[in-house]
Amino acid sequence: MPSAVPRPTPVLMRLTAVLLLAAGLLLAAPATASAHTGLRSSEPAADSTVTTTPQAVTLTFNASVLGGEVSVTAPDGTPVGAGPVAHDGAVLSLPVTLTAAGRHTVTWTAVADDGHTLDGTFVFEHAPATPLPPPAAPATGTPTPSDAAAPATGNGSGAGSDTGTETASASSDSGGLPGWVLPVAAVALLAVGGLTALRRR
């Protein structure tokens, strides 16, 4: 008679179940890691060279994010952001004003739906086909020659007015009789009248 096949013991069955469960967890781990939110693309793309001047830097993730921050700096380290970060589902966008050619650095952070914080940095080269206009020079506030001459003109006109007034006053005084002429004339008339009366007597 053939020998009977031994049946697996309960301990062996439990050990097999544990091994199968561990293998399942190991296989599921990469899938779970790949499901985490990450940066899918950007505009401008990382390490790219753009010949046109972008109006914004846009980051697109592979899943929705709760929000984030984006900063862009010029080759000299000056921030070139021109407004707040716009958030729309899986997209973050920062308006920019690029004023120089060269390598620009993008630094970003984002919060995934599960609360996981993401961050990263990349660069792109700005090589505009046409030269960018130089920034406008600030006003210095230096007075112009016309402004400097204005007070002198005002003082001259005032002096001329005073001189004209004095001249008019002098002319009006010289045109009238002196104040002593009338009393003297009255006395002379009285004297002539007295002499005439004495002669008639």
pLDDT at 195: 65
Residues 37 and 116: beta-carbon distance below 8 Å: yes
In this structure, the strands spanning 49-50 and 117-126 are: parallel
Kindly state whether residue 149 falls inside one of the protein's structural domains. Answer: no
Kindly state whether residue 110 falls inside one of the protein's structural domains. Answer: yes
CA distance 80 to 101: 12
pLDDT at 101: 96
Kindly state whether residue 154 falls inside one of the protein's structural domains. Answer: no
CATH of the domain at 113: 2.60.40.1220
Kindly state whether residue 8 falls inside one of the protein's structural domains. Answer: no
3-state secondary structure of 42: strand
pLDDT at 24: 63
Q: Is residue 70 packed enough to be buried (19+ CB in 10 Å), middle (13-18) or exposed (0-12)?
A: buried
Task: Please give the structure tokens belonging to residue 95.
Answer: 């308006």
CA distance 164 to 160: 6
Q: How many domains does the chain have?
A: 1
Kindly state whether residue 79 falls inside one of the protein's structural domains. Answer: yes
pLDDT at 188: 74
Is the peptide bond prior to 30 cis by the omega test (within 30 degrees of 0)?
A: no
Kindly state whether residue 133 falls inside one of the protein's structural domains. Answer: no
CA distance 36 to 64: 11
pLDDT at 16: 73
Kindly state whether residue 64 falls inside one of the protein's structural domains. Answer: yes
- Within the chain, which residues score under 70 in pLDDT? 1-8, 11-12, 18, 22-35, 132-181, 183-184, 187, 192-201
Q: 10 Å Cβ neighbour count for 171?
A: 9
Which are the contacts of 91, defined by CB distance < 8 A and separation ≥ 6?
A: 58, 59, 60, 61
The boundaries of the domain holding residue 64 are 39-126
pLDDT at 65: 97
CA distance 15 to 23: 12
Kindly state whether residue 95 falls inside one of the protein's structural domains. Answer: yes
CA distance 201 to 135: 112
In the sheet that holds 117-126, the strands lie side by side as 49-50, 117-126, 102-112, 65-73
